[in-house]
Structure 1
Amino acid sequence: MARTAGEVNRKKVHSYYDYSLLFLILFLVCFGLVMIYSTSSYNAQKFYGDAAYYLTRQALFAGAGILIMLFVSKIDYRLYTKKLPIIKLRPITILYFLCALLQTYVIIFGNEVKGAKRWIKLGSLGTFQPSELSKIAVILGTAFIVNLAPRKLDKIWGFLRVLLFMGPLLGLIVAENFSTGLIIGLIIVAISFVASKKKAYFIISGAALAGLASLLIIFVDFRTTRFEAWRNVETHEKGYQILQGLYAIASGGVFGKGLGESMQKLGFIPESHNDMIFSVVCEELGLFGAVTLILLFILLLWRIFIIAINAPDLYGGLIATGVLVHIASQVLINIAVVTSTIPPTGIPLPFISYGGSSLMVILFEMGIVLSISNQIKVQRSR
């Protein structure tokens, strides 16, 4: 039945804001703070004389990150592609070159921790990991390049054009942190894949990238050692952390030992508040807690997916896709590593693992996704 003029007039267009996504983000951040205190309080008291040492630092980053997220969520995401009035450069261009400069600096002068140069020392504030900021540059930059000419991606040279622009930064990231480079490479491919109508050549590109990654594992000694440790967890000297994580998961049972009651965090799992925090979640909260956390991540990804398919333009949809792939890949890889499904690598669990750089970057990305949701227009009855 056709609508009457009065019914049409009673409809009013409103901006949409995904408060359910905002609630999920805040809940995961708070849950992460609880688990960081639970996993780190013993070592923090032992080494720093303050059981809340790690909690306090992470809470400061979380508070700052939430404020940044709320601020960014009110900025139109399309402004990142507009040229600034005086310098005539786009914000995403400035961010790209800034990240490239920081990546170069960290490779040459970075603060070395356990044989890896991934951090820039910031005095009393701690350290900063440039590869985390580079994820934002890659998501915004790849989405912008693809959005300029999406039809060109129907041919292989269109994808090569994307790699030509994003390749230098990706190469610097791989040189600094191989596992992060894999995630960023996956983000680039995923954004391009979504925008392309023809998908066949992505299979070839994916196979080529997988082959290149295999070579970088086979011919680099410490990566080969990790692979051997994964294959021989119980006998290899480097398999200790994986084995202790599996002990924690197994001892948790269905409902866990109770919050704060983990035994493996008492020095058995090295730095349990970092990449191995999911094993302590399993030990203290059991299978029930682990599954609940995974379901929360699935809900988070679902809300981002809804925003991506309802975005007001292709650019917004591609940005949301990049953020979705970033979070999904980190969750999958982290849980796979902790459960010894894949060889060990240093990927934090989003919102949960300790790390100021990682948390603030993810909250910044969430702010952009909320900004996209804020540009979605819906009709409501007056």
Structure 2
Amino acid sequence: MRQKLHYLNYKILVPYLLLVVLGIIMVYSASSDILLVNGFKPSAYGVRQAYYAVFALLVALTVFALRLAVFKNTKFVAWFLGVSMLLLLYLIVLKIFKGSAAAVNGAVGWIDLKVIKIQPLEIAKLALVIYLAYFLDRHDASLSRGNNIINKLSRPAVLAIVMMLLVIVEPDFGGTAILGMIVVVMFAVSGIPARKALFCLISMGLIVFLVVVLIIKWNPDFLQKNYQFQRLMSFMHPFELERKGGAQLVNSYYAIHNGGLFGVGLGNSMQKRGYLPEPYTDFILAVIAEELGVIGAIVVVGLLFYLIWSIMEVGVHASSQFNALLCFGVTTIIFTEALFNIGAVLGLLPITGVTLPFISYGGSSLIVLSASVGLVLNVSANERIKKEEEVLE
């Protein structure tokens, strides 16, 4: 452990810590007014996020301290994947027996343990990354041109599809899309011919696009009361449907406009005071833009993408397929979440309920993302130690 600490990658650690601290500050700022109006302590969510951050840091440190071989162990991979699938399956059982009573905004995505609400999807993302890295590394030699690649990849593909089906039933379209992107990216960088990977990506994109277009054109009656469908229609016509679900996007525009370049000052946002729904989760970036200005928002997004780039850099220079795939998988999780959240806040993508990594309020997301960062720091330290040993030899 002491030896590993000397090989910490500060290009990953520093932006990670800065994002977590910024997250605590902005969660407090975005939630304090709503909590005060409803008779709660204004610091409640900020303090809770700080507790989550401390625990998440301990998780990251633990993952960093473990031998990297643990994550390549067949029993560990099977156990981790099995637990994540069982948790997703439990949500379906919860939905069947409790129905709308267990739903939040039309979706059943959390298991309430009183102390913390666990979101199985977050665990499933990391479990899928570790499983795919394990499987693709073990079959690296056979994934070459001329071999029957489709048959080789049928097992992980079927497992990923089952996982995505369990998530979409919740329903969580954003989470399903993230799982799909993890599969596509990790398949693409695992040695599969570029044509096959590109064909897979384009095919998936076209299918999703055609389904969305058909739903919008068809506009069936039974979907009119569906929360997710209303979100989609509000994305297409936010101002016309402001009272039927478009308020989030409209007030996000107002927040960004009010903030201007330099913002109205920390804690002075008007849109967070009952106008902007979910100001400390889905739309925390809009509050950042209003209070810290466009420049402040760019700094936050810049830190996030610098972290993504630093993780990807470790993957590019990794000496083993397994290490590289872990880094690219984690990169995909953070990048896709950031893309979906920023796109939703700016009105460029439909609102999917995907939060801003490391910034938005929530324990499950922060803990799993921190574990992912700890895993990449572990890979980076091992790579540096290995290179130093090679030089000494």
What is the TM-score with the length of structure 1 in the denominator?
0.89
Cα distance, 1:345–1:311 mapped onto 2, change above 3 Å:
same
The equivalent of 2:117 in structure 1 is 127
1:170–1:184 contact (8 Å) kept in structure 2: yes
- Code of the residue aligned with 2:372 in structure 1: it is E
1:153–1:192 contact (8 Å) kept in structure 2: no
1:256-281 deviations in Å (ceiling 9; x for gaps): 11111111001100120011000011
SS of the aligned residue for 2:169 comes to helix
Q: Does 1:147 align with 2:137?
A: yes
Shift of 1:165: 3.6
1:41–1:51 contact (8 Å) kept in structure 2: yes
Q: Does 1:23 align with 2:14?
A: yes
Shift of 1:49: 2.2
- The 5-angstrom pairing of residues 49-128 of structure 1 reads 49-83=40-74, 90-109=75-94, 111-123=102-114, 125-128=115-118
C-alpha distance in 2 between matches for 1:42 and 1:293: 22
2:173–2:352 contact (8 Å) kept in structure 1: no
The equivalent of 1:265 in structure 2 is 272
C-alpha distance in 1 between matches for 2:345 and 2:15: 23
The equivalent of 1:196 in structure 2 is 191
1:14–1:379 contact (8 Å) kept in structure 2: no
1:76–1:375 contact (8 Å) kept in structure 2: no
C-alpha distance in 2 between matches for 1:319 and 1:48: 45
1:107–1:118 contact (8 Å) kept in structure 2: no
C-alpha distance in 2 between matches for 1:131 and 1:309: 27
Shift of 1:206: 2.1
C-alpha distance in 2 between matches for 1:122 and 1:379: 45
The equivalent of 2:165 in structure 1 is 171
- Code of the residue aligned with 2:367 in structure 1: it is M
SS of the aligned residue for 2:246 comes to helix
The equivalent of 1:338 in structure 2 is 345
State how many pairs are aligned: 363
The equivalent of 1:379 in structure 2 is 388
The share of aligned pairs that are identical, in percent, is 30
- Code of the residue aligned with 2:240 in structure 1: it is T
Shift of 1:211: 4.2
C-alpha distance in 1 between matches for 2:321 and 2:107: 38
Name stretches of at least 5 consecutive residues in structure 1 with no aligned partner.
1-12, 84-89
- Code of the residue aligned with 1:241 in structure 2: it is Q
CA RMSD of aligned residues (A): 2.2
- The 5-angstrom pairing of residues 188-337 of structure 1 reads 188-214=183-209, 217=212, 218=214, 221=223, 222=226, 223-236=228-241, 237-337=244-344
C-alpha distance in 2 between matches for 1:216 and 1:98: 32
SS of the aligned residue for 1:186 comes to helix
Cα distance, 1:274–1:161 mapped onto 2, change above 3 Å:
same
What is the TM-score with the length of structure 2 in the denominator?
0.87
Q: Does 1:137 align with 2:127?
A: yes
SS of the aligned residue for 1:16 comes to coil
C-alpha distance in 2 between matches for 1:339 and 1:134: 28
2:160–2:179 contact (8 Å) kept in structure 1: no
C-alpha distance in 1 between matches for 2:132 and 2:312: 18
1:80-105 deviations in Å (ceiling 9; x for gaps): 2225xxxxxx1110011111111011
Shift of 1:197: 4.6
- Code of the residue aligned with 2:200 in structure 1: it is S
